[in-house]
Amino acid sequence: MDGEMDEAMRAHFPVSFGKQSTSEHRSSSVHLATRRTLEPPSNSSFSSAADAVVKSSWVGELRKPNTAPLNFEEEAIGLLPSVTSRHETVYDDDRVVIGPPPPPPSSSDALDAEEDEEEMIGPPRPRNGASDDGSDSDLDDSPPNDNIRIPLSNEIVLKGHSRIVSALAIDHSGSRVLSGSYDYTVRMYDFQGMTSKLQSFRQLEPFEGHQVRSISWSPTSDRFLCVTGSAQAKIYDRDGLTLGEFIKGDMYIRDLKNTKGHISGLTGGEWNPKSKETVLTSSEDGSLRVWDVNDFTSQKQVIKPKLARPMRVPVTACAWDHEGKRIVGAVGDGSIQLWSIKPGWGSRPDIHVEIAHKDDVSGLKFSADGLILLSRSMDSTLKVWDLRQMKNPIKIFENIPNHYPQTNAAFSPDEQLIFTGTSVEKEDTTGGTLCFYDRKKLELISKIGISPHQSVVRCAWHPKINQVFATVGDKKEGGTHILYDPSMSHRGALVCVARAPRRKSVDDFEAQPIVHNPHALPLFRDQPSRKRQREKILKDPLKSHKPELPVNGPGFGGRVGATKGSLLTQYLMKQGGLIKETWMEEDPREAILKYADAAAKDPKFIAPAYAETQPKPVFAESDSDDEQESGH
């Protein structure tokens, strides 16, 4: 009876009234806009898209925005969201979907993984057999090795930079992302507080006019290190507030061990993965330095690499191992040097490879077991080294373009894959890509297209959220691409993509004040005039060629003016009575007659030969009393 009454009351309300239970339909449509379109090239000889993915030489194109028409009747009743842009999803009701969509009921393993509080590190185990719906989606998004699955089905882009993004750091929980760029800024993104608009919540500029070259989180993710092109690295807290900057050394001291800090621009830096108080930096001055974040005035250790002859060669890259007990550095002469931290250790390297690369090394990376070292160089190669035998690399991957000194190489979470980014060349048609290699077989597995016209610099695969990050950019724009799969990834990009922006309400209304400025309108604007410019020129004696004014009083030492002196000290001494000038009050004739007796006794101004023939001067005597009183 109650059910019949509810249905009768429901008939009086529109269909869209109330909240609809469309979670399953909404989950599939939320990630529709971020779906990557995997289309093989037109000149490919592959029979299907699945066969194209299997071939390692195929490059996936950039995903295209979904242009499928929506059913407006379903949208009206709230079954479908209204997609307003590529990354913005607005729902008709007030619901906000947080986190990834729930898995289908048939997938019991995935459901248990969602309910379990412990997080899975690395990609999940592959499912046995084909999918429930019989589709070949797993073949489209996975490399040929069935034991390794790369989350590639969906993609979002964190934009905001105006130059290439050269630095990337994701905290250990996978909730906060930092990106640094050649536009001198650092942008901070938070997945938990970010909506589908994908906007950063804070922007920093560590040093004006210096590129951001490296960013590294502390082991506890409460602080991060920022390395720029200046000689001083900075430490920020988690919210982007400055905690301090390291001191700069004296550039006039020849020995680098006697300086308190770097004297040239920094090239790289990394936080010790096991110590929250220790960081490492490398510089163009040819040294590596270990710092204590509690003391910004001096470093703990100065490391000078071994060189063939005494000179300053820049250190282009540096890295810690996973235990924080070894340091590796790449020197500009092509060598790779490794130091073990032990009591009494110094600048002498434990391992020294003289000619590791033909060009500068842009990235170094240790494996978790401490047996493998990756070195990415600007000579378009990626080398894999066995730390137990460093004479020759065990594998060299060639023809990988690299034009940026911050390009790195990384491992997958389970370290079965090695991947790195490529740069765009002038006549290249593939664009920036991510190249994945098998660590055991040492062969190319997959080559994934990220951007058709922008180079890929930094890359990372976060183990907890199982998402792949790749930074791209050029001289006009930069961004961070995040690849994920709703069935494999956790939180991260899935949280912000599914969260619609908050709708504007009546309380958000702000009355904009009307400013009346009639002179700004073209109707009331004055015609351009040069009257002020002419008046300014007339006041300038040089530009106006104005003649000099006559002196307003007796001059001194030439044309000086009424101050009777050319210097301020002379003028003050005269006004104070320290210097008395009597010649201004004397009669010129009396001043000359003072020397008449001296000239008669000692005629040195008149030759003695004319003394007898020279007439005696007779001066006229004044008859006027006025002239006698005035002295004239």
The residues, any chain, with a CB within 8 Å of residue 391's CB and separated by 6 or more, are 353
Nearest-angstrom CA–CA distance, 323 and 414 = 17
Reported confidence tier of residue 558, pLDDT bands at 50, 70, 90? low
Nearest-angstrom CA–CA distance, 298 and 260 = 5
Nearest-angstrom CA–CA distance, 160 and 478 = 7
CA atoms lying within 13 Å on the CB side of residue 154:
25
Q: What DSSP line would sit under 507-567, residue for residue?
A: GG--PPPP---GGGSTTTPPPP--HHHHHHHHH-TTTTTPPPPPPSS--SSSS--TTS-SS
On whether residue 345 sits in a domain, the answer given is yes
Reported confidence tier of residue 510, pLDDT bands at 50, 70, 90? confident
Tell me what pLDDT residue 394 has: 93
| Token reading at 484 | 């994920």
**Taking a C-beta distance cutoff of 8 angstroms, is the pair 499, 192 a contact?**
no
Tell me what pLDDT residue 193 has: 87
On whether residue 380 sits in a domain, the answer given is yes
On whether residue 198 sits in a domain, the answer given is yes
H or E element that contains 592: helix 588-593
**Taking a C-beta distance cutoff of 8 angstroms, is the pair 445, 417 a contact?**
yes
pLDDT, average across residues 571-591: 72
Query: What is the pTM for the complete model shown?
Result: 0.62
| Mean residue pLDDT across the chain | 76
Q: Is the pLDDT of residue 503 over 80?
A: no
pLDDT tens, position by position, 310-340 = 888 999 999 999 998 999 999 998 899 999 9
Reported confidence tier of residue 280, pLDDT bands at 50, 70, 90? very high
pLDDT tens, position by position, 443-477 = 999 899 998 889 999 999 999 999 999 999 988 89
Nearest-angstrom CA–CA distance, 632 and 628 = 6
pLDDT tens, position by position, 158-208 = 999 999 999 999 999 999 999 999 999 999 999 988 888 888 999 999 999
H or E element that contains 139: helix 137-141
More confident residue, 631 or 386: 386
Nearest-angstrom CA–CA distance, 447 and 157 = 19
On whether residue 571 sits in a domain, the answer given is no
Among 9-18, 208-217, 502-511, the range with the most confident prediction by mean pLDDT is: 208-217
Tell me what pLDDT residue 623 has: 64
On whether residue 452 sits in a domain, the answer given is yes
User: Residue 308 is part of a domain; what is its CATH number?
Assistant: 2.130.10.10
On whether residue 514 sits in a domain, the answer given is no
pLDDT tens, position by position, 394-436 = 999 999 999 999 999 999 999 999 999 999 988 777 788 999 9
pLDDT, average across residues 233-239: 93
Nearest-angstrom CA–CA distance, 347 and 289 = 11
Q: What is the DSSP letter of 162?
A: S
Tell me what pLDDT residue 429 has: 74
Q: Is the pLDDT of residue 364 over 70?
A: yes
Q: What is the DSSP letter of 124?
A: P
Q: Is the pLDDT of residue 496 over 90?
A: no
| Token reading at 212 | 């951001």
Tell me what pLDDT residue 47 has: 32
Nearest-angstrom CA–CA distance, 304 and 286 = 7
Tell me what pLDDT residue 27 has: 55
On whether residue 235 sits in a domain, the answer given is yes
Reported confidence tier of residue 525, pLDDT bands at 50, 70, 90? low
Domain count, the chain: 1
Which residue type, as a one-letter code, is found at position 43? N
On whether residue 387 sits in a domain, the answer given is yes
Nearest-angstrom CA–CA distance, 526 and 571 = 50
pLDDT, average across residues 240-245: 92
Domain range enclosing 394: 154-502
More confident residue, 191 or 609: 191
| Token reading at 425 | 């060349």
More confident residue, 24 or 412: 412
Write phi, then psi, for 51 (nearest 5 degrees): -65, -30
